[in-house]
Structure 1
Amino acid sequence: MDIAEVLRQHGYKVTPQRLAVYAVIEHNQTHPNAEVIYRELQPQYPSMSLATVYKTMEIFAKIGVVKMLQCGEDAHRYDCNTTPHAHIRCTECNRVADVPLDQETLIREAADKTGFTVDSVGVAFTGICPDCREKKLQA
């Protein structure tokens, strides 16, 4: 995806900071929060503020480049995979992973059971990841 072109199409300026933030999250599978992104960019962009990262991520969410995730933590996490899927968070280490789900079935069941017209689906699971489960067994 040409993030510069997407920003321009939506009327936003293309700045080095926005391009740098996108470069950090573009293929990031860890679902980072703004502070993680900020810490990664600090060595290259010492004048960039945490507020800039937050504002950039708000813009990216608004234009559909990322999804903002609420995973049961204080801070939002961000996901560049905007296709429909769920998430699971480890309650021990806070790792977040994607969970492929048949969301059409969930939508149909929710609509059938409630009479609602479903606009969107947000599913988040919690549990203990294999690494943390193994550590517990070894302790």
Structure 2
Amino acid sequence: MNVYEYLLSYDIKPSVQRIAIMDYLLTHHTHPCIDEIYMALHDDIPTLSKTTVYNTLKLFVEHGAAKMLTIDERNACFDGDTSAHAHFQCKCCGKIYDLPMHVNEKEMSDMADKGFSVEEVHNYYKGVCPECKNNKSDKN
């Protein structure tokens, strides 16, 4: 499915800016923030503004086409992968990694039995990534 069809599947009217922003999210698995997306696209789309990027990402999140990550207290990051997965942020380099997430079906069923309707699950881990850990041990 191309990006145009992907946006339509989430009831989002495609535009040049929306297609470019979603394409960036789907092809760059770096969990970018608004500034990163803006800096990556503004040379190709001179009319693009940070406000447009912000409003577009907000629209994507509202329609379920992207997820907003608040793992970093300073910046909201965005993920084009809407499948259930966890995230790990390295405290040294700041990089965010995708991790598998195992949903506890019994827990979800118990919550549903009690009347809860779960719409989002966030699993965030913080620590030191293997690359930074290796760099630290190389220096010692």
User: TM-score higher than 0.5 here?
Assistant: yes
Q: Is the 8 A contact 1:8 1:14 kept in 2?
A: yes
Partner of 1:38: 38
Of residues 68-77 and 49-58 in structure 1, the stretch that sits farther from structure 2 once superposed is: 68-77
Residue 15 of structure 1 and its aligned partner are, at CA, apart by 1.6
Aligned identity (percent) is 30
Residue 29 of structure 1 and its aligned partner are, at CA, apart by 1.4
CA-based RMSD: 2.5
- Unmatched runs of 5 consecutive residues or more in structure 2: none
Cα offsets for 1:83-134 (capped at 9, x unmatched): 11110000011100111021125x618x58xx78461321100010111111
Q: Give the TM-score normalised by the residue count of structure 2.
A: 0.83
Write the distance in 2 (CA, Å) between the matches of 1:3 and 1:63: 15
Q: How does 1:48-127 map to 2 (within 5 A)?
A: 48-104=48-104, 108=107, 117=116, 119=118, 120-127=120-127
Residue 60 of structure 1 and its aligned partner are, at CA, apart by 0.9
Counterparts in 2 of 1:10 and 1:116: CA distance versus 1, 3 Å: closer
Q: Give the TM-score normalised by the residue count of structure 1.
A: 0.83
Write the distance in 1 (CA, Å) between the matches of 2:117 and 2:48: 40
Count matched residues. Answer: 136
- Unmatched runs of 5 consecutive residues or more in structure 1: none
Write the distance in 2 (CA, Å) between the matches of 1:101 and 1:116: 24
